[in-house]
Structure 1
Amino acid sequence: MGANLSYTRVDLSGRVAIVTGANSGTGYETTKALARMGAKVIMACRSQSRAEQAMDRMKSELPDSQLDLQIMILNLASLRSTVEFAEEFRSEHDKLNILCCNAGYIGDNFEVTEDRLEAVFQSNYLSHLLLVTQLVPLMKTSGPDARIVSVSSSGHQVFGKMMLPETNVRAAYSQTVTYGASKLYQILMTGWLHQRLRGTNISATSLHPGAVHTNFNAGGWIGLGIQLGYYLGISRSPEQGAASSIYACVNPELAGQENLYITDCHPATASSTARDVNNQDMLLDYSLYLLKDYITEEGAEALDIHLSALPTPPPEWLAAPTAE
């Protein structure tokens, strides 16, 4: 691997963090590290039982630490669940300092969610965008140095390309291309957030965790490649893979820096496609149109979104995807 994966341990007492997909893999290790530094960490997970098992494991691994953890249910394959999670969080907490958009999904086959959207597009990108719109107003009132961190992938450089509308994938589904596109969209979202949050207390960062051997990538060509890398000693452990996430969430030297892309705990450069402002505008116009019925007035104001002025996508872009 050869990378120097290190981050500064800081005192996070009094700070509140959300980590999506906190019960396994890099999300588990990120959650454990933030809690160990003193943050209250909300474990945003689909499964109550798996989250409880993960929480018990963390506490057994760190018996001398007083970990402040809370489980809240979040299913990113459902826009309704995403909104309900945000509403519940706002009703219980008066601040949010760190939002780590970590959860990811790799589909072996083409799938459609209850919202009639392609599952990887929605789970990895669109619902995280909705979560951001729901929580940014609270983050703006949470004091200095609030951070939105999106766990992307270098797969955006190899496989990522603009696939709008997302329904295009139904004709010839490719796991690698669809996953790569969703990771590309996360970086484009970070660039858009940078434009909308410039000069505020909130910074937006995206990152590549490395090729990490977890249950997340157990199937398909991506999983096979990472498993092979694991046996060859190339792939990273979840703890190693979480290092860049933790670095992005806490390192003091990043305070006030915006629109960063991080690899191996250092600033890096995303692909030209991921840095293209035209791609950014095209993606966000389409995405916000899909989410317009779920975005609050407060969220729209905080991000300068003019919902009534969003361009209507072509009719074929709005057709419900169907597997072929």
Structure 2
Amino acid sequence: MKKLMILALAPGFMYCFVVRSDEAISLVFNNPDPNEAILVGGMLIGMVTSLVTRKFLFAPFFLAALKHKLDISYLRSFSRATLVNSSIDLTGKLAVVTGGNSGVGFGAAETMAQLGATVILGCRSEKRCSAAADSIRVSAKGSVVTLSLDLADYSSIAAFAKSLEEHGHIDYLFNNAGFATAPPAPAPVHTKEGLELGLGSMHFGHYYLTRDLMASSLITPNSRVINTASAGAHFGVFDDSLYSESGEGDLRGEKTVTAFGQMYSRAKLANIIFGRSLVREHSIPACSMHVGAVATSIWDVPRIAVGDFDVGAVLQAGVDMYTKFIMRNLEQGSRGLVRCALDGGVGGGVYLDGGGNIKSDAQLLTIAPNMVDEKLRVRLEEVSEEFWQRLKS
């Protein structure tokens, strides 16, 4: 039985801690979020313990899982069950969620709709968007609308923003859509406007959308912008060319050292910086949140064919076994985003870690200085605004 369980778990461990070994090591030794470090560290200890002693296979694994699950206890007041049974009524409120067809975006959209808000899902896939909307409608008090949105194409962003005008003022904008950037390709993949795909869609795409909505007065100081961030932002960097006269920096990804996850980290860093700029430059309440380790499609393993045998399917089975056990589900993972929307005390451009703790500038200066680098914030705002103005003209 023990050998069978080891064999069952091995593929998942292999994928996350061999294929993604650089991320796992970074999470343990350099992570600004101690909750993630404890989680991943415990899993690594569990592996080593079982391999060396062949005993206590699950002890550290269970401890890490328990610690991680308990870390969201502070968010119980923002759990869906608690909120639905409270006096909160979002009838008449409008929430827009990018990438709301899956993951924590779907979780947040479902909660907001159950509280009575009208929810608009912006997605690339019409089929997946419609399926998500149908699922949300089953328990929703508010209505659910789907619209097409491709954040890698400004014409799609502009059309989406235009379509929103008929719905009126937006109370909550969830800049959520994102994806895990793949290992280095032979050449960078770009948005339609020529920017590296990860940064171009996750940061610039959301920047363009938010600014379009501000220009049409759909987003105002009475709105709230919620950015789905990541502790991976700790590793995000922009090279010195960002400050060059051209302002282009290495935004096309052609000179970036494309270590696995680095492009994603840079995009998530930009999301956090953008939240700070919304408050400082435009007086728009904003909050950025690292949702923690959540069992979403981001952990999907691509098909890896060896003859007629799909190795990827075996890896996926192992991944699924422990993601469902140790990681937060969609509702739990989305609680932080819902808190950012409904808690008036977290709208000052703050960053919340995976444990739901507000990180002060003093703390971030020590553990993740790029997040509070004022020179970087100002320059990224200048470049983003310049690109947006260029597209608008």
Same fold (TM over 0.5): yes
After superposition, give the CA deviation of every residue in 1:107-152 in whole Å (9 maximum; x if it has no partner).
314311222111101111101001110112455776x742011001
Point out the structure with max Rg over C-alpha.
2
Letter in 2 for 1:160: G
Note the C-alpha offset of 1:166: 1.8
Secondary structure, counterpart of 1:175 in structure 2:
coil
1:128 aligns with 2:203: no
Residue type of the alignment partner of 2:224? R
Map of 2:382 onto structure 1: 285
2:161: which partner in 1? 86
Aligned CA distance change for structure 1 residues 232 and 72 (closer, same or farther; 3 Å): closer
Paired residues in the alignment total: 282
Query: Is 1:212 matched with 2:294?
Result: yes
Identity %: 26
How far does the alpha carbon of each residue in 1:231-258 deviate from its partner, in whole angstroms, 9 at most, with x for none?
A: 494432222111100110112444xx41
The CA deviation string for residues 254-288 of structure 1, in whole angstroms up to 9 with x for no partner, is 4xx41111133342244221111101112122222
| Distance in 2 (alpha carbons) for counterparts of 1:214 and 1:180 | 18
State the alpha-carbon separation in 2 of the partners of residues 129 and 184 from structure 1: 13
Query: Aligned AA for 2:189?
Result: E
What residue identity is the alignment partner of 1:148?
V
Match of 2:94 among 16, 22, 27: 16
Sort the Cα spacing of 1:206 and 1:141 in 2 relative to 1 into closer, same or farther, 3 A: closer
- State the alpha-carbon separation in 2 of the partners of residues 210 and 12 from structure 1: 26
The answer to whether the Cα contact below 8 Å between 1:130 and 1:295 also exists between their aligned partners in 2 is no
CA pair 193-40 structure 1, distance change in 2 beyond 3 A? same
Query: How far off is 1:22 after superposition?
Result: 0.5
One-letter identity of the residue aligned with 1:291: W
1:154–1:208 contact (8 Å) kept in structure 2? yes
- Specify whether residues 24 and 140 from structure 1 end up closer, same or farther in structure 2 by C-alpha distance, changes over 3 A only: closer
Match of 1:166 in 2: 251
Correspondence list, 1:284-323, <5 A: 284-295=381-392
Tell me the TM-score normalised to structure 2 length: 0.66
In structure 1, the residue corresponding to 2:97 is in which secondary structure? strand
After superposition, what is the alpha-carbon deviation per residue over 1:35-77, rounded to whole angstroms, capped at 9, x for unaligned? Answer: 11111110011111111111122233x2xx4331000111011
Aligned amino acid, residue 389 of structure 2:
K
Q: Structure 2 residue aligned with 1:27, among 101, 105, 126? A: 105
The one-letter code of the counterpart of 1:260 is V
Contact 1:18–1:100 (CA<8 Å) still a contact in 2? yes
Does 1:53 find its partner at 2:138? no
Distance 2:384 2:276 in 1: 14
CA distance in 2, matches of 1:52, 1:232: 25
Cα separation, partners in 2 of 1:101 and 1:76, compared to 1, 3 Å: same
Q: Deviations over 1:180-232 (max 9, x none)?
A: 0000001111111111133xxx3011110102221134258xxx9x9489449
Q: CA RMSD in A?
A: 2.6
Quick one: distance in 2 between partners of 1:94 and 1:231?
A: 39
Residue 317 of structure 1: aligned partner: none
In 1, the alpha carbon distance for the partners of 2:357 and 2:215 equals 29
Q: Which residue of 1 aligns with 2:23?
A: none
**What is the CA–CA distance in structure 1 between the aligned matches of 2:261 and 2:219, rounded to whole Å?**
39
* TM-score (norm: length of structure 1): 0.79
Residue 300 of structure 1: aligned partner: none
What 5-or-longer segments of structure 2 have no aligned partner? 1-67, 240-248, 303-314
Are 2:250 and 2:256, in contact at CA under 8 Å, matched by a contact in 1?
no
Task: Confirm or deny that 1:117 pairs with 2:195.
Answer: yes
Equivalent residue letter for 2:115: M
Indicate whether 1:249 and 2:341 are aligned: yes
1:147 has 2:224 as partner: yes
Distance in 2 of aligned mates of 1:181 and 1:71: 29
Whole-angstrom CA distance in 1 between matches of 2:168 and 2:389: 25
Q: Per-residue deviation at 1:95? A: 0.8
Structure 1 spans left out of the alignment, 5+ residues: 297-324
Distance 1:243-1:287 versus aligned 2 partners, 3 A rule: same
1:245 match: secondary structure: helix
